[in-house]
DNA sequence: AGGCTTAATCGCCTATCGGCGATGAACGAT
DNA sequence: ATCGTTCATCGCCGATAGGCGATTAAGCCT
């Protein structure tokens, strides 16, 4: 038995789109980053790294690394204030964050490196 | 300078909830799994592993591993048919897949191991 | 200038991930 | 009983991720 009994020929979702989706989801695929995002969202103003470190309870270098990942997908925004840097949630990116339904419908993924 | 100039005291999102969120997002944090999900969603009936392997173009063991990860969060469902196993999308899980807004609002995460 | 604070970066370590081929279990057909 | 098919699992490998401490750079304040 070796036929090609495929129903719909069904091209695969192109790899680039799949990778873009994956990079979005990877940003929230770590519990620490989930905590950081939820924490930042609950703050009225932008927070310094020192404050975030105090809240999260991990080393400053670790938190800094997570913040870098989150800013790379524009999930959080930075504003330099003197020697400090203030981080805050990017509400636009929260809105355009893809859903599973987007994946399932094969919708084009929002570009994490461009404007949301 | 060492005061606690925090605005809202702001408890951290509990680690268990954060981990549940992370495991949801991790399921779609790989481009191959995104392709598998999108492919399955576009099929009328459930597909055998052999068919999925043919579509994806990776080794059978690799695809099998990805399917295991996707079934663990109930993202896809399995039905054994003789010696084969037929996989299909779990529409309920697609619907309850968390959004970034859910994380930001600190909503309780849907349980990936229970019913969706 | 010198010292303090803040935060990014570097190097290291361990754990996990994603790929593979090989093996083996389960089942249908002969 | 034996063979073929289907698929999960195992062991291996290189690459990546996540944690840490130490270092470095950049501002501020005396």
Per-position DSSP letters for A26-83, written without gaps between them? HHTSSHHHHHHHHHHHT-SS-EEHHHHHHHH-S-HHHHHHHHHHHHHTTSEEEEEETT
For the segment B55-108, what is each residue's pLDDT rounded down to a tens digit?
999 999 999 999 999 999 999 999 999 999 999 999 999 999 999 999 999 998
CA angle A61, B98, A74 (to 5 degrees): 45
CATH number for A15-102: choose from 3.50.50.60, 2.30.30.60, 3.40.630.40, 1.10.10.10. 1.10.10.10
The pLDDT > 90 percentage for chain A reads: 83
Cβ distance B39 to B53 under 8 Å? no
Task: Write down which residues 53-112 in A have CB closer than 7 A to strand C.
Answer: 53, 60-61, 64-65, 67-68, 78, 83-86
Cβ distance A45 to A79 under 8 Å? no
- A95: tokens are 């809105």
Task: Provide the CATH topology of domain B15-104.
Answer: Arc Repressor Mutant, subunit A (1.10.10)
User: Could you tell me which residue, A77 or A109, shows the higher pLDDT?
Assistant: A77
d(CA A96, CA A109) in angstroms, rounded, equals 9
* Cβ within 8 Å of A, B 46-65: 51, 54-57
The answer to whether B100 contacts A94, with C-beta atoms less than 8 Å apart, is yes
List CB contacts (< 8 A) between B6 and chain A: 51
Q: Quick one: chain B helix, strand, coil %, rounded to 5?
A: 50, 10, 40
Question: Which residue's CA lies closest to nucleotide C19 at its C1' atom?
Answer: B62
Per-residue pLDDT at B4 exceeds 50: no
Give φ, ψ of B113 to 5 degrees. -95, -15
A87–chain B Cβ distance below 8 A for any pair: no
């Amino acid at each position: 038995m070796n036929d090609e009994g495929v129903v719909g020929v069904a091209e695969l979702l192109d790899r680039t789109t799949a990778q873009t989706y994956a990079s979005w989801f990877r940003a929230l695929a770590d519990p620490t980053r989930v905590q950081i995002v939820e924490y930042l969202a609950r703050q009225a103003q932008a927070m310094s790294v020192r404050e975030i470190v105090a809240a999260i309870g991990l080393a400053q270098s670790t938190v800094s690394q997570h913040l870098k990942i989150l800013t790379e997908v524009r999930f959080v925004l930075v504003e330099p204030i003197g020697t400090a840097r203030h981080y805050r949630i990017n509400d636009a990116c929260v809105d355009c964050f893809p859903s599973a339904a987007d994946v399932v419908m094969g919708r084009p993924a929002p570009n994490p490196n461009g404007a949301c």
